[in-house]
Amino acid sequence: MTETELEDLVDAMTLEEQVSILSGEDFWSVPAVPRLGVGKLRVTDGPNGARGGGSLIGGVKSASFPVGIALGATWSVALVGEIGAALADEVKSKGAHMLLAPTVNIHRSVTNGRNFECYSEDPILTAELASAYVTGLQGQWIAATIKHFAGNESEIERTTISSEIDERSLREIYLVAFERAVKVAGTWGVMSSYNKLNGTYTSEHNWLLTTVLRNEWGYDGIVMSDWFGSHSTAETVNAGLDLEMPGRTRDRGDKLVAAVREGTVKAPTVRERALNMLRLMDRTGALTDTRPFAERADDRPEHRSLIRRAGAEAAVLLKNNNVLPLTGAGKIAVIGPNARIAQIMGGGSAQLNAHYRVSPWEGLVAALGEAQLTHAPGCTNHRFEPLLKGQFKVEYFANETLSGEPAHVGEQEDAQAFWIGEVAEGKVDPLQFSARLTGSYTAKESGEHRVGVHSAGFAKVYVDGRLVADAWTNWTKGRTFFEEGCDEVVGVVVLEAGRSYEITIEFATKDFATLGLAAFAVGIGFPLGDKAIAEAARVAAEAEIAIVFIGRNGEWDTEGSDLSGIVLPGRQNELVAAVAGANPRTIVVLQTGGPVEMPWLDDVAAVLQAWYPGQEAGNAIADVLTGAAEPGGRLPQTFPVKWTDNPTNSQDVEVYPGLDGKVRYEEGVFVGYRHYDKHGIAPLFPFGYGLSYTSFALSDLAVDDGQFEADGSVTVSVTLANTGERPGVCVVQLYVTDDIASLDRPHKELKAFAKASLKPGESRRLDLRLDARAFAFYSTSARHWLVEAGDFTLRVGTSSADLPLSAKVSRSTTLMLPV
């Protein structure tokens, strides 16, 4: 429709009809307006897939793509654009019109539980990749929803905490990706964050949503709340929040109609919000979409191939003492807690029910054959006891006391549930019910077992009628289920191998803080001890090469919970030390959502960071290990030697994790590698770092600064040559330094990059273009971007710590740029 036709349509709507499309009808849709033929808009969670309208557990199967930090590690604008286009297909399979992605918050700390979902610590790398993702997605008429706007760099008290960020840091670091997505990619959706920004909830932040987003950047899409992230009626509507999610409405509907009648919200403001919604519906086809809702589990071969390729391109080779790629290797010991378990994604709203999961063991078996592989787990790395699986009968009660006859009886296949929205086919109130699950567990080992339960609600676990784990009597809020759940409560019970035990789980809902959900998970584990580590060392000693698969999983790297540090959980460091002591040709494969400390680094032959690369994890990792694919990744986040080196390390807890409802971004613009440069801290591995299976050389730096004085633009050219014997990829990075600035600026800042694939002996001339913003800082006094007169140094290389080529450009006047 034309804009005029959309305006005619919104004017044909009654006030009540306009208001109706400003809040969700249910968890995943906006209501239709049948009288005027306006269809229903449907959304689905992302960003590493399209889950559809189901729960976080189970549901229709979906393709699982590499997580955000893995895409950040690719440094490939083209690849991320390709993934965006593929995700549009996935969204269409789920009957939706809008993907709640990408996530572009900055890696401020190394312990943010959601770092895995975000691209990078650097705003330019994040902005380039986010724009490609949005363009790829919307090129197929599926709306992007860039999130979380803004200042959501921690999961601690995230729904209430105030991120205290000065305007310069906001403009130069935290808003850059959003700005680029609006001005360059033309995103159709923005999601406000849960937190407050400088004391005001972002969902009702007029400066953020109207002054900056709409007036300065010219945004014409919609702003939606995060789920349950809006807290008012007039304040959110007047500030610029178009859509309250999810439904049913809490603060709109009749309340908003009344606010218009009372004059606290003007009718033209509601019309503007509704017009924004209609424009979005028109862009995505939802406006005229009358098809019956259906979700499909489309397992596309081309997406399988893309995910596998992207996983390899994300893998970062951190160390290699001539053991990789594996060529002509004899017996290989495959060791570690992540060897036979496919760790493909992080936790929280990004998780989905993948079509399949390929473990590293399975990937190596497919590549090398099982005959030359041996295995030992060595230790565990779970945060919660391993999920209890099996058939469970579920009795639902329309009360919170498990009393009377069940309102509904069902079945489920494991001891976990995530109830949100409709429960028990609508026969109980989803916020006020109880449930009893009964099933059985057959022990595989004799001895002491650990029974764990964590729940958003009250829960008890009985084994043969004996209460073993009680998360009911003294329930205390913890860091699970988006901060609505308790920490895991663990009980101990002695079991006999081969014997079957009756398991009973009782659950009841409780009042929620922010998110209206009910959930629990129950696990039973048999601890591994010294013998398991000794056995792993023995297996390693008998092999020519040992590969240790360690790291974390989606229980640790998850929405709703920050990490307590970056030491590997459990006894994994002990395991690596024991294996490396038994076999000097030890390769470590890490799967984490961010940095870890590596006390064993000097003792191992190679380290590969594989992140969470999606459903093809094992195949992608095997491709890199065997040399079928190049390790194409470079670090999107600095790896510090220890946690205390990172930018949020401070004696003041208000800086991190926060105090009295505030978290103060005291480091300002000195986040990521800027922090390490400023304080002279040598990282374990620098930003942008990664090795190849070949070698490269940079030469012949040339600078065209003919327009620098006039408009601030500069073009930098450099020759990249593959000087090795294999094809490979290299990421060439360009950093800018303001030699003498009127305020404290970072020592250097990434402003352009290019990724190139070259054959042996091939060379290529690369052009890196800089606009005036690449040289500017934001002046809070002038309220403009400023390029000051003076000298700027341009540095080119392959990481923030390896920049062998440099040149200078100069200008004699100050250039003022609009916001």
Other beta carbons within 10 angstroms of residue 328's beta carbon come to 5
Q: Report the alpha-carbon distance of residue 131 to residue 113 in Å, rounded.
A: 24
Q: Give pLDDT, residue 430.
A: 92
Does the N-terminal peptide bond of residue 107 adopt cis geometry, omega within 30 degrees of 0? no
* Cα–Cα distances in angstroms (integers) from residue 50 to residues 84, 191, 233, 308, in the given order: 11, 17, 30, 17
**180-194 residues labelled b (16+ CB within 10 A) or e (exposed):** bbbeebbbbbbbbbb
User: Which residues have C-beta within 8 Å of that of residue 426, sequence separation ≥ 6?
Assistant: none
What is the pLDDT averaged over residues 775-786?
96
CB distance 753 to 733 below 8 Å = yes
Give the closest residue to 439 by CA, choosing from 393, 507, 506. Answer: 393
Helix (H, G, I), strand (E, B) or coil at 395: strand
User: Six-digit token pair at 764?
Assistant: 């290529």
Q: What is the pLDDT of residue 680?
A: 97
**Can you name the residues that pair with 811 across neighbouring β-strands?**
790
Cα–Cα distance for residue pair 313/734, rounded to 1 Å: 21
Tokens at 638, concatenated:
């600095």
- Name 404's Cβ contacts closer than 8 Å, sequence gap at least 6: 397, 398
Is 55's pLDDT higher than 80? no
The pLDDT, as a whole number, for residue 38 is 97
- Give 54's pLDDT tier (boundaries 50, 70, 90): confident
Task: With beta carbons less than 8 A apart as the criterion, state whether 300 and 63 touch.
Answer: yes
- State pLDDT tens for residues 532-568: 999 999 999 999 999 999 999 999 999 999 999 999 9
Q: Is the dihedral of CA 615, 116, 125, 701 positive or negative?
A: negative
Tokens representing 443 are: 């022990």
Q: Taking phi first (over 0 means left), then psi (-120 to 50 degrees means alpha), and beta for anything else, what does residue 672 get?
A: left
Q: Which CATH class is domain 301-383+529-648?
A: alpha beta
Q: What's the token pair of residue 75?
A: 């440094």
Spell out a b/e string for 783-819, using b for 16 or more CB atoms within 10 Å of the CB, else e. eebbbbebebbbbbbbbbbebebebebebeeebebee
Q: In which band, very low, low, confident or very high, does the pLDDT at 56 lie, cut at 50, 70 and 90?
A: confident
Tell me which DSSP letter residue 209 carries: I
Among positive and negative, which fits the CA dihedral 550, 553, 557, 562? negative
Query: Distance between CA atoms of 757 and 191, rounded to whole angstroms?
Result: 36
Tens-place pLDDT, residues 706-720:
999 999 999 999 999
Virtual torsion, Cα 177, 182, 186, 190, nearest 10 deg: 90
Tokens of 770: 């800089």
- Angle among Cα 383, 394, 46 to the nearest 5 degrees reads 50
| Nearest-angstrom CA–CA distance, 760 and 696 | 10
In the predicted model, is pLDDT for residue 487 greater than 90? yes
Residue 59 pLDDT level (bands cut at 50, 70, 90): confident
Range with lowest mean pLDDT among 175-184, 506-515, 773-782: 506-515
CATH assignment, 389-525:
2.60.120.260
226 belongs to the catalytic site: yes
Q: Can you name the CATH fold of 1-36+191-284?
A: TIM Barrel (3.20.20)
* Per-residue pLDDT reduced to its tens digit, 566-579: 999 999 999 999 99
Q: 75: phi > 0 → left, psi -120 to 50 → alpha, else beta; which?
A: left
* Spatial contact of 728 and 762, defined as CB atoms under 8 Å apart: no
pLDDT 10s digits, 404-427 = 999 999 999 999 999 988 899 999
Residue among 595, 777, 747 at smallest CA distance from 679: 747
Rounded Cα–Cα distance for residues 504 and 526 (Å): 19
Collapsing DSSP to helix, strand or coil, 347 comes out as strand
Per-residue pLDDT at 67: 98
The pLDDT tens digits for 638-697 are 999 999 999 999 889 999 999 999 999 999 999 999 999 999 999 999 999 999 999 999
Per-residue model confidence as pLDDT tens digits over 86-132: 999 999 999 999 999 999 999 999 999 999 999 999 999 999 999 99
Q: What percent of the chain has pLDDT over 70?
A: 100
**Considering 226, 414, 557, 645, which one is annotated as catalytic?**
226
Q: In the structure encoding, which two tokens stand for residue 423, read together? A: 């429960």
Phi, psi of 511 (to 5 degrees): -60, 140
Alpha carbon distance 163, 236 (integer Å)? 18
d(CA 723, CA 761): 6
Residue 623 tokens read as: 């491709």
Strand locations in 155-255 (E): 162-164, 189-192, 196-197, 200-201, 222-224
| Beta-sheet strands, E only, within 343-385 | 373-376
Report residue 726's pLDDT band, with 50, 70 and 90 as the boundaries: very high
Q: Can you give the pLDDT at residue 766?
A: 98
Q: 791 - beta bridge partners?
A: 810
| pLDDT for position 421 | 81
pLDDT digits (tens, 9 = 90+) for 791-804: 999 999 999 999 99
Strand partners, 335: 376, 548
Residue type, 748: K
Question: Could you state, in order of their start, the residue ranges of all structural domains in the chain?
Answer: 1-36+191-284, 301-383+529-648, 389-525, 696-817
The 3 state secondary structure assigned to 708-735 is HHHHCCEEEEEEEEECCCCCEEEEEEEE
Per-residue pLDDT, 586: 98
When pLDDT is cut at 50, 70 and 90, the band that residue 494 belongs to is very high
Read off the pLDDT of residues 577-601 as tens digits, 9 standing for 90 and up: 999 999 999 999 999 999 999 999 9
Nearest CA-CA partner of 175 in 140, 215, 217 = 217
Q: For residues 8 and 414, what is the distance between their CA atoms, to the nearest angstrom?
A: 52
Average pLDDT over residues 273-292: 96
Say if strands 728-738 and 790-797 run parallel, antiparallel, or are unpaired: antiparallel
Kindly indicate the confidence band of residue 512, based on its pLDDT and cuts at 50, 70 and 90.
confident
Over range 1-22, report the average pLDDT.
98
- Total-model pTM: 0.95
Read off the pLDDT band of 401 (50, 70, 90).
Answer: very high
Q: From 382, 414, 409, select the one nearest 396 (Cα to Cα).
A: 409
Please calculate the CA angle 247-59-104 and round it to the nearest 5 degrees: 65
Cα three-residue angle 283-286-289, rounded to 5 degrees = 135
Q: pLDDT digit string (tens) for 599-629?
A: 999 999 999 999 999 999 999 999 999 999 9
Q: Which residues is 730 bridged to in the sheet?
A: 756
What Å distances lie between residue 818 and 210, 693, 770, 787, CA to CA? 17, 45, 17, 11
Residues 777-800 have a mean pLDDT of 97
User: Quick one: pLDDT band at residue 139, thresholds 50, 70, 90?
Assistant: very high
Q: Residue 462 pLDDT > 80, yes or no?
A: yes
Residues composing the chain:
819
Contact 207, 188 (CB under 8 A): no
Query: Confidence class of residue 328 from pLDDT cuts 50, 70 and 90?
Result: confident
CA-nearest of 538, 771, 558, 731 to 634 is 731
Rounded distance between C-alpha atoms, residue 507 and residue 478, angstroms? 17
pLDDT of residue 506: 98
Average pLDDT in the chain: 97
pLDDT of residue 513: 81
The confidence band for 514, taking pLDDT boundaries of 50, 70 and 90, is confident
Phi first, then psi: give them for residue 728, nearest 5 degrees: -165, 175
- Residue 164 main-chain phi, psi, to 5 deg: -95, 100
CATH code, 696-817: 2.60.40.10
Mean pLDDT computed over 1-8:
97
Residue 256 neighbours by CB under 8 Å, 6+ apart: 19, 22, 233, 237, 265, 270
